[in-house]
Structure 1
Amino acid sequence: MEETISLKEIFSTLMKRIKLILLITLVATAISGLVSYFLLTPIYQSSSQILVNQSNAEQQSFDINQVRTNVEMINTYRVIIKSPTILEQVINELDLDMNVSQLANNITVKTEQNSQVFTIVVENPNPLTAVNIANTLGETFQKEIKEIMSGNNVKMLSEAEVPDNPSPVNPKPLLNMAIALVVGLMAGVGLAFLLEYLDNTIKTEQDIESLLDLPVIGVVPEMNEEQFHQKSRLTKTG
């Protein structure tokens, strides 16, 4: 016999396990909140901007080809700014307790299409350290690029600053809790249907018909002891 699941059966299964579903959802959300607020280290972000412009000798006349060259040169600068040559000097100057690889992982260089400006974004558990790294990195790069590329077309456009009330960019507790709520709800619903699938006990007349492939002739109603005795007395007097 082909088995079909109706919306009524789905709703019945969910209602039967509603406490389990809510429990799993609440536990997942609570754990996510506790981890986000108390266990994960807050990460702060700071950024500085660098302008790749024309050299002083060429600023008298605007040259579109020179601008295009500067824009293309930014791709090379992005690699150089995260090179050990630059990062080692930043580590030594700020006396950072990290190696070149660790520092490079905390730095992102962002560029806009057809723009002569690129942004150095630094992430660190300490907002002041993030600001110092961003500014020192930009200054060191501006100084060293003159020797590395024999160029003088790099200028600090804006320096990083510590905000009055710095707020971390990671973790994001509310987002994490929202994700945990959805995942917990899905896990609870999935577990409810799994338990229902694994439960092979006979509960209804339909279960008997499905299992034995035989029609149900009669049903003995459920009754408590008092009802049983009343039924017995009525049978005897009848």
Structure 2
Amino acid sequence: MGEESITLPEIIDALRKRWKIIVLTTLIITTFTIFVSLYLIKPKYEASTKVFVGKESSNNIQEYTSSDIQMYQQLLKTYSNVIMTKNFVESAIEGGNITSTKEEILSNLNVAPKTDTQILEIKYSSYDKAEAKQVAEELTNEFIIVSTKLIPNANVQIIEKASLPENPVSPNKILNISIGLLLGIITGLGVAIILDFKDTTFSYKEELEKEIKLPVLGVIPKFNGIRRR
């Protein structure tokens, strides 16, 4: 083909001629993505607990002032940083039948206050669903002990216990397959266009006429050989 600028009709024609490559590339990449998501990526499970932090239990909610609420919300940020320390994690898992190291636990631990509340959420993810639940529980129990030492008159209560996770949080199979399908289509389109515009032969006489700007007087037909009797 020539070295003129590529037009949209030429691109469409290239895709039409090489649709098999597009389909094949899409199928290969999508199938590979499905295989990886189902069989190669190990599923990960997440367990979480929620803890309320406020005034000592003898006080009721009506006695909270706006400054009290702001104070406890700020306190939750401090507590989050306390939990995300090696010493805290080491103390929490000490004596428990937990195989993960404190470094591994910290890398899979997420602690954050719920926005505009006095609730702290502790999340832990693991390839072992039982360990995910156990670590979340151990960290929460240790947090209650430590928090009462830091602020003796605080009211710290577990409002949602950790449960054994049933479904993995990763991999997201639907998302992965969707990305694989999209990537396959894009790759297929790209390969088809590149192959077509690197092809310097002329498949149709119209292509040759457009290139040389002269009419084609004759076309040599395909010759499949002489059939012998």
Specify the TM-score bucket, using the shorter chain as the normaliser: 0.7 to 0.9
What does residue 227 of structure 2 align with? none
Q: CA deviation at 1:57?
A: 5.7
> What is the distance in 1 between the residues matched to 2:54 and 2:106?
25
Q: Distance in 2 between matches of 1:179 and 1:38?
A: 17
Q: What SS does structure 1 have at the residue aligned with 2:94?
A: helix
Question: Distance in 2 between the 1:37 and 1:20 partners?
Answer: 26
CA apart distance, 1:8: 3.5
> How far apart, in 1, do the equivalents of 2:149 and 2:38 lie?
46
CA distance in 2, matches of 1:63, 1:121: 28
Total equivalences in the alignment: 222
After superposition, residues 176-195 of structure 1 pair within 5 angstroms as: 176-195=176-195
User: Do structure 1's residue 137 and structure 2's residue 139 form an aligned pair?
Assistant: yes
| Contact 1:107-1:122 within 8 A present in 2 as well | yes
Please list the CA deviations of residues 26-65 of structure 1 after superposition, one character each: whole Å capped at 9, or x if unmatched: 1111111111111111111111001111124654861312
Residue 219 of structure 2: which of 215, 218, 221 is its match? 221
Q: Distance in 2 between matches of 1:14 and 1:108?
A: 47
Query: Are 2:139 and 1:126 aligned?
Result: no
Structure 1 contact 45–130 (Cα < 8 Å) conserved: yes
Equivalent in the alignment of 1:25: 26
Structure 2 matches for 1:1-238, cutoff 5 A? Answer: 3-56=4-57, 58-59=59-60, 62-64=63-65, 65-150=67-152, 152-162=154-164, 166-205=166-205, 207-208=207-208, 214-223=212-221
Q: Distance in 1 between matches of 2:51 and 2:30?
A: 42
Q: Give the TM-score taking structure 2 as reference length.
A: 0.85
Q: What is the CA–CA distance in structure 2 between the aligned matches of 1:28 and 1:40, rounded to whole Å?
A: 16
| TM-score normalized with structure 1 length | 0.82
- Contact kept, 8 Å, 1:91 with 1:98, in 2: the verdict is no
Task: Tell me by how many angstroms 1:167 deviates.
Answer: 1.1
Note the C-alpha offset of 1:176: 0.8
Change (3 A) 1:215 1:150: same
Of 55-64 and 187-196, the range deviating more from structure 2: 55-64
Q: Which runs of 5+ in 2 are unaligned?
A: 225-229
| 8 Å Cα contact 2:55-2:153 kept in structure 1 | no
What SS does the corresponding residue of 1:51 show, helix, strand or coil? strand
Q: Answer with 1 or 2: which has the greater Rg.
A: 1
Give how far 1:9 is off. 2.5
